[in-house]
Amino acid sequence: MGRYRKRWSSAPDVRKTGNNTQYTVADGILAGFAVFFMQSSSFLAHQRLLQSKKGRSNARSLFQMEEIPSDPQIRNLLDPLSGKYFQEDFWFLLDEMREQQRLRQFWTDLNTYAIALDGVSFFSSEKISCAKCLKRTDRSGVEHFYHSAITPVLVKPGQSQVLPLPPEFIVPQDGSEKQDCERVAAKRWLLQHHRHFDDYAITYLGDDLYANQPLCQLIDETYHQFFLFVCKPESHSGLYERLAFLEKNNGLETVSDRHWNGKHGEIWRYRFANQVPLRIGKDALQVNWLELVITKEGTDEILHQNSFVTNHAITTANVVPLAQVGRTRWKIENENHNTLKTKGYHLEHNFGHGQQDLANVLATLNLLAFLIHTIQELCEPTYQRLRRALGARKTFFNDLRALTRYVVFDSWDKLFLFMEEGLELTPLPP
């Protein structure tokens, strides 16, 4: 929080000289961030009450605010900012994890990191809008205004947590079709952030809409990284015509495994082919294709089926980890989108829309809070012990909110120590 207080103190302030500047922009940012970090829309109201009664508050001691702005003042302070301003705050945390070798726990069996790409909507209204709103018309002719973003995350098979990276907001200029919008925003994200991984191999994951030649070529030829995208027959007819020809001529390699799921056996069959055209045409990019079909043993019942294209060379030795990493794409929906929407972050709630960039700024601060929570789960022993002792995430945050409503703590260490003693956990040595 000290680092953020210092950096946000230099955030752009567009207010005219002479206007009421009782509250700094930094206080507005810290206040907005605190609401998301504590997962409590009433946190600031409780801190104002503590300040009036005790002359102290957790807003100051834990979040380093000098003054506590009101909700309308926070919105006014944040609206002129850009969501891009906070990108550096994500990389500060992630680069520090990398320097401390903490990021290695996300290194996959492909000898790369894996970054899943996907779009998510986080605001929708039939009446409220701004210049950066996207528009769509439903079947009944009603116009809806909404905001969406690409929210990349670091993922790994078997790793329950994901690490959110800086978002890239989809803007009206990106196009009118969902697929076009996501693709353009994904390219923009790669252009802005690819250098953070110049020294490391990355495998980018995504659903079928990302499996197009311009994006695959960009990742392969410009950024010299890897892609592993879902590839459906209905959207890649030229590729699957070639695969049908190879199948008829025994040109597909096959690997099979048997798995026991606790109830019955499963047959996992992998098929793959290298150097096949991604699309129709002489200039088609040559890609490598793999398929995984899981059937119930002794039957023809298909339990799971998916196929991917990649620029990883596929062999019998790596086809299994390739499929595992490819399937990990779903974590961006389960561990990221679902958590942000249903586990206390309320990403889709309208915290404030504004006239400039308020909706995007608030969504960014929400994601930053989620990233810090996740890093604490992965790296901070005291936080881990408290989470284990309290069980559900909801219980942990309920306790945080209750304690900070009535008691002022001088630091996060003092707060966590108080919780450890209350739970009769033996505090870790200093």
pLDDT tens digit sequence for 336-367: 777 878 777 777 777 878 888 899 999 999 99
Among 342, 372, 405, where does a domain finish? 342
At 12 the pLDDT is: 92
Average pLDDT over residues 92-104: 94
Question: What CA–CA distances, in Å, run from 327 to 29, 115, 293, 297?
Answer: 37, 12, 12, 21
The radius of gyration computed from the CA coordinates of the chain, to the nearest angstrom, equals 24
Among 320, 342, 364, where does a domain finish? 342
Whether residue 430 lies inside any domain: the answer is no
206/251 same-domain check: yes
- Over the stretch 368-383, which tens digit does the pLDDT of each residue have? 999 999 999 999 999 9
Name the pLDDT band for 430 (thresholds 50, 70, 90). Answer: low
Whether residue 286 lies inside any domain: the answer is yes
Joined tokens for residue 369: 């809070």
At 249 the pLDDT is: 95
At 69 the pLDDT is: 93
Whether residue 428 lies inside any domain: the answer is no
At 139 the pLDDT is: 86
Residue 147 has pLDDT above 90, yes or no: no
At 234 the pLDDT is: 94
Residue burial 213-249, b: 16+ Cβ < 10 Å; e: rest: eebbebbbeebebbbbbbbeeeebeebbebbeebeee
- Over the stretch 215-224, which tens digit does the pLDDT of each residue have? 999 999 999 9
Whether residue 280 lies inside any domain: the answer is yes
10 Å CB burial of residue 332 (0-12, 13-18, 19+) is: buried
Determine what percent of the chain is predicted with pLDDT higher than 90.
74
163/277 same-domain check: yes
- Over the stretch 20-66, which tens digit does the pLDDT of each residue have? 678 899 999 999 999 999 999 899 999 999 999 999 999 999 999 99
Domain residues for the domain of 192 are 84-342
85 dihedral zone (left: phi>0; alpha: psi -120 to 50; beta) = alpha
Residue 337 maps to which CATH number?
3.90.350.10
Beta bridge partners of residue 168, listed in sequence order: 150
237/286 same-domain check: yes
60/99 same-domain check: no
At 180 the pLDDT is: 65
107/75 same-domain check: no
Whether residue 250 lies inside any domain: the answer is yes
Whether residue 429 lies inside any domain: the answer is no
159/45 same-domain check: no
Average pLDDT over residues 126-143: 85
Whether residue 427 lies inside any domain: the answer is no
Residue 390 has pLDDT above 80, yes or no: yes
Whole-prediction pTM: 0.92
Average pLDDT over residues 59-81: 94
Sequence letter at residue 300: D
Joined tokens for residue 266: 């499963």
262/290 same-domain check: yes
279/319 same-domain check: yes
Among 324, 342, 360, where does a domain finish? 342
121/189 same-domain check: yes
More confident residue, 204 or 352: 204
- Over the stretch 258-316, which tens digit does the pLDDT of each residue have? 999 888 999 999 999 999 999 999 999 999 999 999 999 889 899 999 999 999 999 99
At 146 the pLDDT is: 87
Mean pLDDT of the chain: 91
337/355 same-domain check: no
How many distinct structural domains can be found in the chain?
Answer: 2
At 244 the pLDDT is: 96
129/258 same-domain check: yes
314/355 same-domain check: no
Average pLDDT over residues 113-117: 96
Whether residue 180 lies inside any domain: the answer is yes
Average pLDDT over residues 8-19: 82
- Over the stretch 155-201, which tens digit does the pLDDT of each residue have? 999 998 999 999 999 988 776 666 668 899 999 999 999 999 989 99
